[in-house]
Amino acid sequence: MTSIIRTKLVELDSIPAVAYKKKLANKRLERQKRETGNAAISITRTDSGANAQVSLTRRGDWQAPKKGRGADWDLQKVDELFPEEAIQEAVDLLAGMPYSGRGSVKVELVKLTPEDEEVQVDPEDKLPYRDHEGEFVDDFDATDSREYAAILDEYTRKDGKLDFQRMNKDFIQFAARSTVASNLISEGAPKEDILLFVLKNRAMQLAGAKEMLDDARLQGLVDSLDEIEPRSAFKELRLWIRKSLSDVAFAKKMAEHGAVSVV
């Protein structure tokens, strides 16, 4: 069975259909500068087998549905087959659900089987890496890493969605307890350097790994989480780092004028 990077399957109430969210081919583009994101929702009607693909933007909005690969239905009936209400329901149900490698979806009530796009890996990304089972693999996908699996295990709620608030709180607490992070903040280090240190070390700790992710693979991990939470998976952590740096800078400025002393 073909393995694709997708969420669990959800059943829609507004129309007879099932849906899941999947990652599209990763071409290592500058994703922060792109309007469209790296994910799409696949919706398959259980009464006719009609399949549509709905691309998601980086802001979490969705674009007009298109025919899925191999799907055979009249595009002029798109509003009838896949109304906006049903698409929005799928978006809401799948929001926050994590990805993992899963088999392709088959609808038993009809003969048509939606074909899913396989995740393509840029040749430049083929570097040795251990997957979540500790085995060396040639192709790296963050959703198959030990760190990603550990984050899902630690922060997934009972409803199957990631608890980003709890995840951010935990990473902030880790940063606050870290002597190295405190020193970086006191020295006024670039906020991205502080963020990288916190993410790498906490992810390594959660996974029980002996080696940290390199910058490229860490970015892949963050991108995969951002695809679940378009507003930025680590928004609160970023804000905490920015505020901490601002507080230190303000205290030093006041100390220079003799208003306070900085220990």
DSSP letter assigned to residue 125? G
d(CA 43, CA 79): 13
d(CA 87, CA 159): 20
Rounded to two decimals, the pTM is 0.58
Q: Minimum mean pLDDT among 37-41, 54-58, 132-136: which range?
A: 132-136
Percent of the chain with pLDDT over 70: 73
Q: Which two tokens stand for residue 77?
A: 């009936």
For residue 65, which of 77, 81, 54 has the smallest C-alpha distance?
54
Q: Are 212 and 130 in contact (CB under 8 A)?
A: no
Q: Are 203 and 224 in contact (CB under 8 A)?
A: no
Is a pLDDT exceeding 60 seen at residue 87?
yes
Q: Are 237 and 214 in contact (CB under 8 A)?
A: no
> How high does pLDDT run on average in the chain?
77
Q: So where are the chain's domains?
A: 3-103, 136-256
Alpha carbon separation from 262 to 186, 187, 236, 241, 252 (Å, rounded): 10, 12, 26, 19, 7
- The string of pLDDT tens digits covering residues 12-34 is 888 888 988 887 655 434 443 44
Q: What is the mean pLDDT of residues 66-79?
A: 78
Amino acid identity of residue 21, one-letter, is K
Is a pLDDT exceeding 70 seen at residue 111?
no
Q: What is the mean pLDDT of residues 96-105?
A: 73
